[in-house]
Amino acid sequence: MRLPHPEPDATGPGQESVWRYPRPAVAERVTSHLKVVFDGRVLAETRAGVRTIETSHPPTFYFPPGDVDQAMLEAVAGSSFCEWKGNALYYDVVSGGRRAARAAWAYPAPTVSFAIIRDHIAFYPALMDACFVDGEQAVPQPGRFYGGWITSKVAGPFKGPPGTEYW
């Protein structure tokens, strides 16, 4: 079922509407405290991240490689293509006996417009124990395809559930 284009949710103080984000997408540096936890361990933590924003999507956060526990990442075969960012490579996240398949990705040779995310690593929040932005636990973007992080700082509705693929 194809859903009609939604009405944006009202924004409160300090909130951004994802319906005011640009299309095509853009990447911008952030100084927010970002943290990813997997298997009870801090997998990634930074104040030097990059977020990508696009109309109808909550932000996706990218971590500098030096702020990620590389021992918890295993490169896997396969890639995907983003019309704005280029070709992504994937990683399984592993710790102890746990493995989250294709739970992280990076762009080793992004397009010129996204050069600031070169080799930075993003994580699907739905596959992690928890992801935090300035101490607030993020909610994963709905659906299984996108990697956005929903916090109280963003207002939707958000692309991702069935029927929203044409928003």
pLDDT of residue 161: 87
Instruction: Decide if 41 is inside a domain.
Output: yes
Instruction: Decide if 86 is inside a domain.
Output: yes
pLDDT of residue 2: 66
Instruction: Report the pLDDT averaged over residues 119-140.
Output: 98
Q: What's the predicted TM-score (pTM) here?
A: 0.95
Instruction: Report the pLDDT averaged over residues 47-54.
Output: 97
pLDDT of residue 3: 66
Domain count, the chain: 1
Domain that holds residue 102: 17-155
Instruction: Decide if 4 is inside a domain.
Output: no
Instruction: Decide if 150 is inside a domain.
Output: yes
Using the predicted structure, report yes or no on whether residue 158 has a pLDDT greater than 80. yes
Residue 60: in which H helix or E strand, if any? Answer: strand 57-63
pLDDT of residue 118: 98
pLDDT of residue 164: 83
Instruction: Decide if 162 is inside a domain.
Output: no
Instruction: Decide if 167 is inside a domain.
Output: no
Tell which residue, 99, 117, 6, has the closest CA to residue 59. 117
Using the predicted structure, report yes or no on whether residue 4 has a pLDDT greater than 80. no
CATH number at residue 78: 2.170.150.40
Q: Which two tokens stand for residue 158?
A: 């958000």
Instruction: Decide if 28 is inside a domain.
Output: yes
